[in-house]
A and B are shown apart, each in its own frame.
Chain A
Amino acid sequence: MNEPTRMVHSPESELERALLDAGRSYTASGSTRAKTLLALGLTAVTTSAAPSAAAAAGSSLSKATLTKVAATVLVMGAVAVPVWRYLDHTPSGTPVTHPVASAAAVSPTSPAVTEQTPVEAVPAETPAVAPPRVEVAEAQPAANARSVSTARTDPKASAAPPLTAELAALDSARTSLSHSDPAGALTALDSYARNFPRGRLKMEAEVLRIGALAKSGQTEVARKRAEAFLRLHPDSVLASRVRSYAGL
């Protein structure tokens, strides 16, 4: 399609240029990033992915980073939950209080909304996907770990097997699961269990296993494992995913 030159490159007046520049140069406020990471439960996250590397590597690295952050979030789960509960009592200007509920509340009925149906799935349009508020909040960090690209290496973790290997193993399982290949996911998870008997991402692996079992038709096994998981980790950031996978 023949596209016209952007107006900013041939403005009709200085005023027009100034207005276009104002719109194009808008950036998030200095505190927005911190608030957003906090709202996602991702502050104080420490992984080995450097920002520049993440930016350069595109979505595949970003996907790997997801799991990296998931791992960190698991470790800091005990911190994340109180953070989210703290947010529940934080006034305006700080990270949003009921983020998912608010997102789900966005009506899809306006013209702008009806024409903005998603390419692949409907964003923020299906309240059913939003678990109860606290659980959602707690579940966000692990679910959204893909998002973080800023990181440092945890010195305590450096003596253990590389976290990246664990992440790759789980990423493989996740990919299989997302491609409706639960058998492949279970194979990847078995491999993970063999290779990392003391893996730091065992909780995430168990959640994926519950999902894979459920999707492979072993619903009763999945349900029992889910119930066991929830008994042990009722406040886990992964709890809502477990419930979702197992249909609880």
Chain B
Amino acid sequence: MLQITRRNSSSMAATCVLAAVCLGVAAPALAAAPAAQPAAPASIEGSAAAVHGLTGTWNRYPQLGEAPDPKLPPPPPPVAPPPLKAQYKPDWNAKQEAIKEADARGEPPFTDYVKCLPDGMPTMMIAMFPMEVLQTPGQVTIMQEAYNQVRRIYLNEKQIPIEDAEPGYWGHSVGHWEGNTLIVDTVGIKPTVLFRGVPHSDQMRIHERIEMLRPDFFEDHITVEDPVYLTAPWSFTYAYTRLPHYKMLEYVCDSNREYKDPKTGGTRMRIGGH
């Protein structure tokens, strides 16, 4: 009931108050305030609810084969095709087709992922495996169990000029809280680090609205912008549920038996050990 009321509210102040109530955090003054009254101004890192709500371990929702929970918001829709500029579309379409055909032949492409290179951004937010978030002063750290990935979001800092962003897997991220939503800006993704095989330039920018909808549920609304390759921003959302008491495992790819078939270029599995 509270959730519905909160969703219909256009007032961020009321949202903060209700979020505090919903999240059940130790914010008695906020929680006791009637929804009609404006909330106290958010602290530098956002509302009390937001400051600690993300800390913990999370699973992508819904998990493979899992039916959606009617008590939670409906699962986000599937990712739409990328709004690539006309000159880049045929190549991307052809590559998607080639992947399908290679799979049908039983020779799946030997990708960076099969080589055991990490996903990078924004693919990491697919959260193939559990994800841990830590909120510490001035920083939100997101860790993905697969490939031991770590991304650091520096709070309340100005983003560096895009031309100064060193290319990497997770880029340079800055963020700030707006109520229960962490607004994140990321630049500096390596040209070889691709989401769904979509090419990008060094002008690519990833915007995220990491929104705590309930204490045990959040959504990451991701928007990719790239004036070189895309005609419009490309938006998609992933949802996550809390995974209480889960302890993250290490993931070191020290026994990769998949290799590239020199003849077909497809993935093969080495037989008989290393």
| A and B physically associate | no
